[in-house]
C-alpha cells in the first residue's frame, strides 16, 4: 500500500525564509478557531448540498462494479475511447490518464496498451474535430458523452456531429457506440439515453463538475484504460481520514487552506503557481486551476457583501519552465506562492551516459541519473526562491500511483472547501461562468426568453472606437 502524500510548508513560514516575506506561525494560530470551525462546517455538511463528492470514496460499490464491467466490454470491442466533455468532465480524466498510464500511451502498439487509445475532446475548435476524425475509425470507437445538464453547448454540439456520423457509418447499432454520463433525473442527455438505449452512468446530483473526477465522470475513462479505480478511491478515503481533525496543524488540507487564506488576505499573494517536477503530474496543475479558480473567485460573500476574492492559479512545469517563468517568480512582484509537486521515487531510473570528457561542465553529468538531475533542479529552484524571500511549499507523492493520486485529488478538494469557508463565500457555484454561457447562446440566436433578453442587453454596449483598433 502506498504511503501518505506529504505537505511541507517550511518555505511558507517567516522563521525559515525570513521576515517579512513568510507567514508567522502566530498568524496561523490566530486563525485556529476559524479554521476549526471551517473544518467542522464541512464535516457537518458532508454528503449534502454540493458536498456529495465527500462520500464518493464510500458509496459507489455497485457503481464501480458496473464501471468495471463496462470498461471490460469497451476494452474488448473498441480501438479508441473518446470523451466528449469540457471543464471538470475533461480536465480530471486527462490529468489521471497522464499521471497513471504510459506517457505516450496512445502511441504504444495495442498489445502493450492493453486498452483502447484515449482522446478527450475538451474544445470545439473545428480543426480539432476534423483531426480527431482523421485518426480514429468511428466504427471501432466508443464515445463517452459527459454533461450533467445535457445542455452544455460544446459537448452537445460534439454529440450532434458524432451521432450523425455514427448513424451514417454504423447504421442501426450506432447507439452501442455511445455511453452517456449525466444527471439521473433531469436534462436532455438522460432523455436521449433512454430514448436510444445508450449505456448510462449518473453524476450524483450533489456533485459539481469540478469535484466529479472520483465519480463515473473520471472513473469510467480511467477504468477503460486499465487504471485501478478502487485504489484511487481508497487513496481519497485515506486523505479524508487525515482531514477529520479540526487541529489546523494536524489536518494537511486545513493547514493548506489556512496558509493560502493568509497569503491572499494578509500578504497580497494573489497568485498560486502549481509546478510539478514530473511530466506525469503535468495536467494535475490544469485540473487544480479550474478547481481553485472557479470555486474561490467570487464577488460576494454568502451574506451578499461585495468582496471580489480569489487567488489566481496558474501552472508551470519543472524543469521546463525554469527556462521561461522562473525569472518572474524570483525577481518579480511578491504576489505569488509556488506549490511544487514532487515525486519521491519515479517508476523508472535512467542513467546519463559518460562522454564529452573535454568539457568538464558536461562530463560531470556522466554516471548520474535523470532522476538525480530533476531533483537537483527542483531543489535549486526552491533555494533560489528562498534566497529571494519568495514563499513556496512542496507536496510530495512517495510514488505516482492510483492510491497517491486519489489522495492528491481529495487533498485539493478538501483544501478548496475549507478555503471557501474561511472566505465566507459559496465555493460551489459559478455565476461568472453562467453569465458567459448565457451571452454566448444569445449571440448564437437561442430563442428562449432569457437569451433574447441577454441579446437585447448586449446591444446596449458602447460602439467601439475605431481609434482603438489598429
Q: Which residues does the annotation mark as catalytic?
A: 294, 323, 437
Other Cβ atoms closer than 10 A to 149: 16
Helix axes 216-224, 88-100, angle to 10 degrees: 40
| 3-state SS class at 396 | strand
User: Could you tell me whether strands 271-276 and 336-343 are parallel, antiparallel, or unpaired per DSSP bridges?
Assistant: parallel
Q: Catalogue the E-assigned strands of 198-253.
A: 199-202
Q: Which residues, including other chains, have CB under 8 Å from residue 369's CB and lie 6 or more apart?
A: 349, 350, 351, 352
User: Could you tell me whether strands 306-309 and 312-315 are parallel, antiparallel, or unpaired per DSSP bridges?
Assistant: unpaired
Our measurement of the distance from residue 184's CA atom to the centroid of its chain's CA atoms, rounded to an integer in Å, reads 24
Whole-angstrom Cα distance, residue 281 to residue 400? 8
Whole-angstrom Cα distance, residue 106 to residue 223? 15
The H or E element containing residue 407 is helix 402-423
User: Is the separation of the CB atoms in 146 and 83 below 8 Å?
Assistant: yes
User: Is the separation of the CB atoms in 373 and 352 below 8 Å?
Assistant: yes
The H or E element containing residue 393 is strand 391-397
61 burial type by CB count under 10 A (0-12 exposed, 13-18 middle, 19+ buried):
exposed
| 3-state SS class at 83 | strand
Grid cell locating 424 = 465566507
Grid cell locating 75 = 476494452
Residues recorded for the chain = 470
**Cell numbers 494535475 label which residue?**
284
Our measurement of the distance from residue 61's CA atom to the centroid of its chain's CA atoms, rounded to an integer in Å, reads 24
Our measurement of the distance from residue 387's CA atom to the centroid of its chain's CA atoms, rounded to an integer in Å, reads 31
Amino acid at each position: 500500500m502506498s504511503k501518505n502524500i506529504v505537505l511541507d510548508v517550511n518555505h511558507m513560514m517567516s522563521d525559515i525564509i525570513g521576515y517579512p516575506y513568510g507567514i508567522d506561525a502566530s498568524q496561523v494560530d490566530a486563525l485556529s478557531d476559524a479554521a476549526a470551525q471551517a473544518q467542522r462546517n464541512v464535516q457537518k455538511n458532508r454528503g449534502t448540498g454540493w458536498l456529495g463528492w465527500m462520500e464518493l470514496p464510500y458509496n459507489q460499490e455497485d457503481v464501480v462494479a458496473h464501471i468495471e464491467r463496462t470498461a471490460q466490454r469497451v476494452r474488448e470491442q473498441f480501438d479508441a475511447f473518446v470523451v466528449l466533455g469540457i471543464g471538470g468532465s475533461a480536465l480530471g480524466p486527462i490529468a489521471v490518464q497522464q499521471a497513471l498510464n504510459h506517457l505516450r500511451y496512445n502511441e504504444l502498439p495495442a498489445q502493450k496498451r492493453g486498452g483502447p487509445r484515449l482522446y478527450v475532446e475538451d474544445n470545439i475548435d473545428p480543426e480539432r474535430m476534423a483531426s480527431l476524425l482523421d485518426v480514429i475509425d468511428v466504427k471501432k470507437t466508443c464515445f463517452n458523452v459527459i454533461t450533467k445538464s445535457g445542455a452544455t453547448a460544446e459537448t452537445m454540439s460534439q454529440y450532434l456531429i458524432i451521432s450523425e456520423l455514427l448513424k451514417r457509418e454504423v447504421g442501426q447499432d450506432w447507439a452501442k457506440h455511445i455511453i452517456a454520463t449525466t444527471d439521473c433525473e433531469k436534462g436532455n442527455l438522460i432523455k436521449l439515453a433512454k430514448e436510444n438505449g445508450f449505456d448510462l452512468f449518473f453524476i450524483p446530483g450533489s456533485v459539481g463538475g469540478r469535484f466529479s473526477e472520483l465519480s463515473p465522470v473520471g472513473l469510467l475513462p480511467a477504468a477503460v484504460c486499465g487504471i485501478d479505480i478502487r485504489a484511487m478511491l481508497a487513496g481519497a478515503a485515506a486523505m479524508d481520514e487525515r482531514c477529520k481533525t479540526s487541529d489546523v496543524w494536524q489536518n494537511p488540507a486545513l493547514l493548506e487552506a489556512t496558509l493560502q487564506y493568509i497569503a491572499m488576505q494578509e500578504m497580497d499573494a494573489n497568485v498560486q503557481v502549481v509546478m510539478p517536477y514530473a511530466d506525469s503530474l503535468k495536467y494535475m496543475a490544469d485540473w487544480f486551476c479550474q478547481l481553485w479558480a472557479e470555486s474561490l473567485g467570487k464577488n460576494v460573500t454568502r451574506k451578499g457583501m461585495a468582496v471580489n476574492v480569489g487567488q489566481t492559479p496558474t501552472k508551470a512545469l519543472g524543469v521546463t519552465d525554469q527556462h521561461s517563468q522562473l525569472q518572474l517568480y524570483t525577481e518579480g512582484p511578491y504576489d505569488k506562492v509556488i506549490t511544487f509537486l514532487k515525486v519521491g521515487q519515479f517508476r523508472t531510473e535512467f542513467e546519463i551516459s559518460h562522454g564529452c570528457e573535454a568539457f568538464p561542465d558536461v562530463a560531470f553529468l556522466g554516471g548520474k541519473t535523470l532522476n538525480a538531475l530533476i531533483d537537483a533542479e527542483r531543489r535549486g529552484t526552491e533555494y533560489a526562491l528562498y534566497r529571494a524571500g519568495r514563499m513556496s511549499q512542496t507536496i510530495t507523492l512517495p510514488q505516482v500511483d492510483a492510491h497517491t493520486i486519489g489522495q492528491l485529488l481529495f487533498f485539493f478538494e478538501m483544501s478548496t472547501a475549507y478555503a471557501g469557508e474561511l472566505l465566507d463565500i459559496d465555493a460551489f457555484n459559478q455565476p461568472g461562468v453562467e453569465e458567459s454561457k448565457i451571452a454566448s447562446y444569445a449571440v448564437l440566436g437561442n430563442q428562449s426568453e432569457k437569451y433574447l433578453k441577454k441579446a437585447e442587453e448586449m446591444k446596449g454596449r458602447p460602439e467601439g472606437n475605431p481609434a482603438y483598433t489598429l
